Structure 1
Amino acid sequence: MTSTLGFAIMAVLARGARTGYELATAMSRPLGYFWTAGHSQIHVDLQKLLAADLVRFEAEHGPGPQGRKVYHLTPQGREALRDWVTEPPRSRPERDELVLKSYASWLADPEQVAELFRERLAEHEARIAEYERQQADFEDVPAADRPAFGNYATLWCGLSYERHRAAWCRWMIEQLGAGS
């Protein structure tokens, strides 16, 4: 049974062969906007994927004294990834600390709670600006059978999410009587 992180790694490798370092970099942007993993987590799952023959690597000479491994998806890995994409996602419990804080906000000083939401609002607005810059790089929605479509789809979701969260933060600030 491949983990979700394993499928995330395979999704990156489906776009092209990469070293472990390049995988970690790809897991930070753009994948890191919605799925994060540390280098050590990636290494553990890579070993599991290798053992399952879902990925392989080619040894190459590196820039230093040690060689480097360039990982690629095997045909079995591509098939497993293709099958996984259409399966319903696993249920996961929602854990949103800011929502939990809003649930208990009636206990705190409204101005302090409003300040918390102003800080979050600034973070969401910064992400919106970044996502809009990235969206401007697309002239149109890419064809659904191209890797760029996945980039656009996740960007669209991220932009919608950030706009929603920013609107909620503004609403909370207004409800707390603190203005913006």
Structure 2
Amino acid sequence: MTSTLGFAILAVLARGERTGYDIATAMRRPIAFFWTARHSQIHAELQKLLAAGFVGYEARQGPGPQGKKVYHVTAEGSLALREWVTEPPRERPERDELVLKTYASWVAGPAEIRQMFADQLAAHEARLAEYEREGELIGKPPGFGDPRFGNYAALRCGIGYERHRAEWCRWMIDQLSESLNPSWEAAKPSEP
């Protein structure tokens, strides 16, 4: 059974052959909108894909004294990717550290929590601006069947996510700002 990272690598290689370094670079954009991996993880996964017969490689002369491996997806890898794409995604555990911190935030001071949300808001707004600029460069979505359609669809999902998170951070900042109001402290409910 191939891991989700393995399928991410197959999806990159389905667009064209690449070295391990090129795969890592391709996974920064647009895959980083929804999936990230370190170079060491990619290398280990490539070895598993090679053993499974899902990828092959050609040794080529590198820029220095070392050679390089240029990977490509095999027919078996293409078939596995095609089958995987249409399966329902596996259920994943919800693990959102910011939401967990929010759940426990009543134990800290509202000013500190408000600052944390202000920092998070700035980060989400920066990513949103970056994604929106990228969307403007792409323009309208390419037709389905064009590999760039997946890029566009992933980008749209990223834009929606960043907008939602920014909106939630603003709401939290508003709530925490109200709690910093001295009249709120007098009416503060007892803690659970």
Matched, 1:107 2:107: yes
For residue 99 of structure 1, report the CA deviation from its aligned partner. 0.3
Task: Flag structure 1 segments of 5+ consecutive residues without an equivalent.
Answer: none
Task: Flag structure 2 segments of 5+ consecutive residues without an equivalent.
Answer: 181-192
Matches within 5 A, 1:90-101: 90-101=90-101
Give the Cα–Cα distance (whole angstroms) in 1 for the partners of residues 167 and 133 of structure 2. 20
For residue 139 of structure 1, report the CA deviation from its aligned partner. 2.5
For residue 167 of structure 1, report the CA deviation from its aligned partner. 0.1
- Residue type of the alignment partner of 1:152: Y
CA RMSD of aligned residues (A): 1.2
Give the Cα–Cα distance (whole angstroms) in 2 for the partners of residues 69 and 107 of structure 1. 53
Task: With the length of structure 1 as denominator, give the TM-score of the two structures.
Answer: 0.96
SS in 2 for 1:133: helix
Give the Cα–Cα distance (whole angstroms) in 2 for the partners of residues 41 and 52 of structure 1. 17
Q: Percent identity?
A: 66
For residue 75 of structure 1, report the CA deviation from its aligned partner. 1.0
Matches within 5 A, 1:52-67: 52-67=52-67
Determine the structure 1 residue equivalent to 2:174: 174
SS in 1 for 2:92: coil
For residue 36 of structure 1, report the CA deviation from its aligned partner. 1.2
Determine the structure 2 residue equivalent to 1:132: 132
Determine the structure 1 residue equivalent to 2:164: 164
Give the Cα–Cα distance (whole angstroms) in 2 for the partners of residues 177 and 40 of structure 1. 44
Give the Cα–Cα distance (whole angstroms) in 2 for the partners of residues 116 and 48 of structure 1. 40
SS in 1 for 2:177: coil
Determine the structure 2 residue equivalent to 1:122: 122
Determine the structure 1 residue equivalent to 2:86: 86
SS in 1 for 2:53: coil
Give the Cα–Cα distance (whole angstroms) in 2 for the partners of residues 75 and 44 of structure 1. 21
Give the Cα–Cα distance (whole angstroms) in 1 for the partners of residues 101 and 56 of structure 2. 45
For residue 79 of structure 1, report the CA deviation from its aligned partner. 0.9
**Matched length:** 179
Determine the structure 1 residue equivalent to 2:188: none
- Residue type of the alignment partner of 1:41: Q
Determine the structure 2 residue equivalent to 1:144: 144
Task: With the length of structure 2 as denominator, give the TM-score of the two structures.
Answer: 0.90
- Residue type of the alignment partner of 1:100: L
